[in-house]
Every structure is written in structure tokens, then in C-alpha cells.
Amino acid sequence: MGTRELECPICNADVPLAGDEKPGEEVFCTYCRAPLTLQIGEDPDDLLLDEDY
């Protein structure tokens, strides 16, 4: 899958992902440190970030 970035829904900063994350895992924004959960988008290969608090 490779490295990619998603946008933080709170501060709009880029959140880099290693590429091996799975839906439901918690990640943290590198800028605001908000806890975020990876969710599956409309396409099963797409991941989205959702606020986790």
C-alpha cells in the first residue's frame, strides 16, 4: 500500500500513515495530537479519519 497522508478533521493538518494501518485503529494527528480512528470510505480501499473523542 505504501505511505500516504490523510487530513486531520480537526486542524486540517496532513497525517502521514505508514501504509499498514487497518480500519478501526487509532492514530494521532502529528500537529494537534488529536486521537483519530481510521474508517473505511465509500471505496473499500479508501481510509478516512474520524474524531475519536
CATH code: domain of residue 14: 2.20.28
Cα distance between residue 23 and residue 52, in whole Å: 13
State the residue range of the domain holding 8.
Answer: 4-51
Predicted local distance difference test score (pLDDT) of residue 53:
64
Predicted local distance difference test score (pLDDT) of residue 16:
92
* DSSP codes joined into one string, 22-34: -TT-EEE-TTT--
Total domains, the chain:
1
Predicted local distance difference test score (pLDDT) of residue 21:
87
* Tens-place pLDDT, residues 1-53: 467 889 999 999 999 988 888 889 999 999 999 999 998 877 777 788 888 76
